[in-house]
Amino acid sequence: MLGGMAALMRDISPARCLSFASEVLAETLWPTRCAVCDAPGELLCSACAARLPYIDACLACPRCGAPFGRVQCTECNHALLALSGRERMPLDQAASALVLDEAARRIVTTYKDRGERRLSAVMAEIMVRYVPPEWTADPARTALTFVPATAAAVRRRGFDHAEELARSLAAPLDLECAPVLTRPRSADQRSLGRAQRHANMAGRFAVLAGATLPERVIVVDDVCTTGATLYAAADALREQGARTLYALTFARA
């Protein structure tokens, strides 16, 4: 058996051997743990995955994706849109995979702020189930993009969480992932109310110089709270010629 293992190792490049050894060492020192329950073994254990607050598409708002808005949506109605300074939603349709409860929040936090970047593939696997078939019916005229993080957030985390999430979604959706939006410069949203969030994000995005927009664009982000960030991104894309805009997020507050 040892002889066979040695022969196998000879057939693998030194770089692959070093990478494999590094992975074994890392797993020994810092074993993979479930982002929700912290049990060792998987990034998201099967028990926690089964208990996640998946949004029922039959009950969700068909426009904005709010979890219980099928009959009368409390999120994209005229009153709330007016509070946000809008007459209508700038997106043609939006969808989210999970309600943002404590379990979903743990996954997002572990991914973004604790550096477990492998979770992007786990999150993408969940999100791809919520993409309506018509969104990807014409891949030649459709592109996947993302809401870019601020430069300060990228420096702090070492990566752009939305970009990595979008790239993990690109392959299963058979779409190109294209960075087309500039990084925003805005105040922290967490302490702001709905109207303040929308005012804070208004005009914060622009399309990158030289970027080519297809007719249909799917915008990806991790969490939708009031829709302020996604709406501002949609405004910029719409101004530059995108005709059909969709938004997909991992969780919905």
Domain-wise residue ranges, the chain: 52-252
Cβ contact 105:137 at 8 Å: no
* Direct distance between the N- and C-terminal alpha carbons of the chain, in angstroms, rounded to an integer: 53
Portion of the chain with pLDDT greater than 90, in percent: 72
How much is the average pLDDT of 158-164?
A: 97
Q: pLDDT tens digit string along 69-125?
A: 999 998 999 988 988 888 899 999 999 999 999 999 999 999 999 999 999 999 999
CB 184 within 8 A of CB 233: no
* Helix%, strand%, coil% for the chain, nearest 5: 40, 15, 45
Q: Please classify residue 247 by burial: count the beta carbons closer than 10 Å to its beta carbon, then call 0-12 exposed, 13-18 middle and 19+ buried.
A: buried
Segment 211-235 mean pLDDT: 94
Position with higher pLDDT, 20 vs 140: 140
Cα 37 from Cα 84, distance rounded (Å): 37
The yes-or-no verdict on residue 29 having pLDDT over 50 is no
pLDDT category of residue 2 using cuts at 50, 70 and 90: very low
The CATH architecture one would assign to domain 52-252 is: 3-Layer(aba) Sandwich (3.40)
The pLDDT of residue 185 is: 77
Cβ within 8 Å of residue 6, ≥6 positions away: none
Q: What pTM value is reported for the model?
A: 0.86
